[in-house]
Structure 1
């Protein structure tokens, strides 16, 4: 049989090349899925799968008119996708050009991660005790440049003192969100998109609605400190985690931001740890 002959005629070199070819294809698919995970592109991908399944069903049941409509959607839909998602495609290509897809964590990065977690937890603990309202969004894979441009640029090193100072009431930068890019505070007083979900509790205010909104369209992590109650909440991938203790907040923040906590730190190094949230 011709199909069987295609495999029996392969040389060892061809076998290795074909295996590498398949592995590279799967690697590219994996990286694409990693890039769009937690973004609005995931919903788009689900919609494409629905259209493809509908197209197959129209052929199976002989629905010619509907089949023609599906063909038109698939033909012109990809052009529409490129136009609508041009910013996301551009940012993905920029990340690829910077070699970010192949970056590896080393000891220096782990130390920087611990420093960032310490600064975030210390500042949030301080503001929660004093009921200072705060909204902090942390950029991950999906770029937040569109939202950074709505605020006041800072490009400052992340410290707990600076974060606290920004959100002190009646100061020029306290109204709006702080957006972090890598290990820097990119901008303050930024505007985030408000969620339009009808399922959000009516008791949640603008900060929580903005935090949910940005998590629905990007993979950003957003931290909220309630001005009314001092409660600490966190959003990620469209999920809202409310009324977190400081231990829960630190654990969850580290997990969604960097992954499991490395066993290299002693809690005595951070004396502010373990204090109850007032």
Structure 2
């Protein structure tokens, strides 16, 4: 009797688990996977020119769905041609970026500057100010700076007062431009930054 009851409850439990999996869990896991992949992709292209192209493609995708739902034959046909040709062209044009995205798929990484590094930067800035030497130092945070890093000279060096002051010494070939610091490293020097679009009186 007890054995029969055990088998009955066991089967009922397994049936409930399978039913919950099929009705809810499988969709939740699916959404989480897609959401994580989208988050990683947007995090990677944030701060680059590719983000504008992404939003443009998203708008075109919405138009494609609307045109299909409204059964607009010519518009739908043109949009389908765009996707057929556009995806191939984008894959060729953004081959380096796509390769970087695939190679950098990993767990989320914290991107902050430690207190020790801040002290080194402050000391360097004080010395540069006393010598009346200009300096442009950028700390990478949430917004990616990959496009700007590519414009400079890659260093990937430890942050130190001595290195920063030597970089911005007027006769140093690296002094003209910005230094970009990311994750406690001087990633690049002599980087070109965009001009501000704000208008000042």
What's the TM-score, normalizing by structure 1?
0.51
Match of 1:235 in 2: none
Greater C-alpha Rg: 2
- Deviation readout 1:48-95 (Å, 9 max, x if unpaired): 122123334545666543332222112222222222222222222222
Count of aligned positions: 181
| Aligned Cα root-mean-square deviation (Å) | 3.5
1:84 equivalenced with 2:88 (yes/no): no
Match of 1:117 in 2: 118
CA contact (8 A) 1:91 1:143 kept: no
In structure 2, the residue corresponding to 1:147 is in which secondary structure? Answer: coil
Distance 1:54 1:87 in 2: 28
Distance 1:19 1:184 in 2: 38
Match of 2:19 in 1: 11
The alpha carbon displacement at 1:129 in A equals 5.6
Return 5+ residue gaps in structure 1 as ranges.
1-7, 204-278
Distance 2:134 2:99 in 1: 34
Match of 1:72 in 2: 81
Match of 1:176 in 2: 177
Match of 1:161 in 2: 162
1:19-168 alignment runs, 5 A limit:
19-59=28-68, 63-96=72-105, 99=106, 101-103=107-109, 113-128=114-129, 130-138=131-139, 141=144, 143=146, 146-148=150-152, 151=153, 154-168=155-169
CA contact (8 A) 1:91 1:142 kept: no
Distance 2:177 2:165 in 1: 14
In structure 2, the residue corresponding to 1:133 is in which secondary structure? Answer: coil
What's the TM-score, normalizing by structure 2?
0.67
- Deviation readout 1:75-133 (Å, 9 max, x if unpaired): 2222222222222222222222xx4x344x6xxx98x6111222223333443465422
Seen in structure 2, the aligned counterparts of structure 1 residues 60 and 25 have a Cα distance that, compared at 3 Å, is: closer
Match of 1:268 in 2: none
1:192 equivalenced with 2:184 (yes/no): no
Seen in structure 2, the aligned counterparts of structure 1 residues 74 and 128 have a Cα distance that, compared at 3 Å, is: farther
Distance 2:89 2:174 in 1: 38
Seen in structure 2, the aligned counterparts of structure 1 residues 63 and 39 have a Cα distance that, compared at 3 Å, is: same
Return 5+ residue gaps in structure 2 as ranges.
1-15
CA contact (8 A) 2:136 2:177 kept: yes
